[in-house]
Amino acid sequence: MPLIAILPGDGIGPEVTREARRVLERVGDFTFEEAPVGGAAYRETGHPLPEATLALARRSDAVLFGAIGDPEFEAIERSLRPEAALLGIRKELNLFANLRPAKLFAGLEDASSLRPEIARSIDVMIVRELTGDVYFGEKGHRKTPEGLREGHDLMRYDEREVERIARVGFETAMRRKKRLCSVDKANVLETSQLWRDVVIEVSADYPDVTLSHMYVDNAAMQLVRDPGQFDVIVTGNLFGDILSDQASMCAGSIGMLPSASLSGEGGRGMYEPIHGSAPDIAGQGKANPCAAILSAAMLLRYSLGMAAEADRIEAAVAKAITDGARTADLGGSLSTTAMAEAVLAALA
């Protein structure tokens, strides 16, 4: 029986993974093991990513991750903050490819920040590089010679890192509408110039894919002007983080966007909503569980070869929404559990 590790984390993380687990239990037989991560783990063990949690992630067939982050830990040493656990798992498991699909579920036009006719056109897969860039470059703080405080974070990529994520971008485009837009800031950044050069080199292996390039500032603008122009976007870690949160509001809510983080080695991956621990609504039963439920569907599809069950879950979310189920972020009043129950009812 497949072993699914559940790392609920902080804030709304446990609230949404609980519901995603119920949906998984409805479509198949799995063994679940849970372990603490983030602030919750720090409170229990003194470290946000305990050895036992990482070991569980390594020996499981797939990881379902909730969210981490807790205002209580904003001022402690960076390596002990909740975020370090998430970055640590991504790095340790070599999960360099983060797939973030953003599409509008029919009926959510009113929840989008865009006019309905524009909102309806969004159906983009953002392929975000996840283990490099300014996130993992050398960082620090010091005093300048004049005694001013200075902080620095090195933005860097090597060509091997760019090549492998570019391939994921092209492969993803091959399975969709064969249009790939590489987003960078090559007019200013050396990192981006390397990125663009390597993406162009890799494109020679994918003659059927139409490749375009866009600067990230323009991409942010185009995403709200005409999101339908995008099929697949491939971009670096930081730009992908920002653009995917933006894309979520085109699609109605950050509570709707799942993600898959993959290593390309075998099927193992980690699956998580793109949102965080939402301290402002944590503990109130208000969180939208759909991003976590849809992440569970991606888990079935990408790690367990259960595409039919993944399709069923996605169809159930779509049906629950067309039937009118809405949490507060979507303009409704259902609780987290009631929203999940609407999805479960639609599954039946």
Question: Which residue, 274 or 281, is less far from ligand IPM as judged by CB?
Answer: 274
Question: Which residue, 184 or 241, is less far from Mn ion as judged by CB?
Answer: 241
| Site for Mn ion contains 129 (CB under 5 A) | no
| Site for ligand IPM contains 165 (CB under 6 A) | no
Say which residue the tokens 């595409």 belong to.
307
Member of 241, 291, 302, 309 binding ligand IPM (CB under 6 A)? 241
Q: How far is CA 135 from CA 94, 102, 163, 291, in A?
A: 14, 23, 18, 24
* Least Å from the CB of residue 69 to ligand IPM: 6
**Would you say 281 is a known binding-site residue?**
yes
Tell me which amino acid residue 143 is: K
Q: Are 221 and 253 in contact (CB under 8 A)?
A: no
Per-residue x/- track, 66-85, ligand IPM (CB under 6 A): ---x-------------x--
* Least Å from the CB of residue 67 to ligand IPM: 8
d(C-alpha 77, C-alpha 150), whole Å: 17
Q: How far is CA 249 from CA 16, 208, 243, in A?
A: 19, 31, 10
3-state DSSP call for residue 3? strand
**Would you say 121 is a known binding-site residue?**
no
| Site for Mn ion contains 83 (CB under 5 A) | no
Tell me which amino acid residue 152 is: H
Full strand arrangement of the beta sheet holding 97-103: 31-34, 3-9, 62-67, 269-271, 260-262, 97-103, 123-129, 232-235, 179-184, 210-215
Question: Which residue, 61 or 83, is less far from ligand NAD as judged by CB?
Answer: 83
* Segment holding 295, helix H or strand E: helix 290-302
**Would you say 119 is a known binding-site residue?**
no
Among ligand NAD, Mn ion, ligand IPM, none, the one that 288 touches (CB under a kind-dependent 5 to 8 A) is ligand NAD
Nearest to 341 by CA among 19, 7, 15: 19
**Would you say 69 is a known binding-site residue?**
no
Per-residue x/- track, 222-241, Mn ion (CB under 5 A): -------------------x
| Site for ligand IPM contains 329 (CB under 6 A) | no
Residues binding ligand NAD (CB under 6 A): 12, 16, 67-69, 83, 86, 254-255, 272, 275-281, 287-288, 291, 329
Which residues are catalytic, by number?
A: 135, 185, 217, 241, 245
| Site for ligand IPM contains 247 (CB under 6 A) | no
Q: How far is CA 83 from CA 18, 47, 67, 277, in A?
A: 21, 11, 9, 11
3-state DSSP call for residue 12? coil
**Would you say 284 is a known binding-site residue?**
yes
d(C-alpha 264, C-alpha 261), whole Å: 10
Reading the block at residue 289, the tokens are 């569980």
Member of 274, 296, 316, 334 binding ligand IPM (CB under 6 A)? 274
**Would you say 267 is a known binding-site residue?**
no
**Chain residues in the site for ligand IPM (CB under 6 A):** 69, 83, 86-87, 241, 274, 276
**Chain residues in the site for Mn ion (CB under 5 A):** 241
Residues in binding site for Mg(2+) = 217, 241, 245
Residues in binding site = 90, 100, 128, 217, 241, 245, 276-288
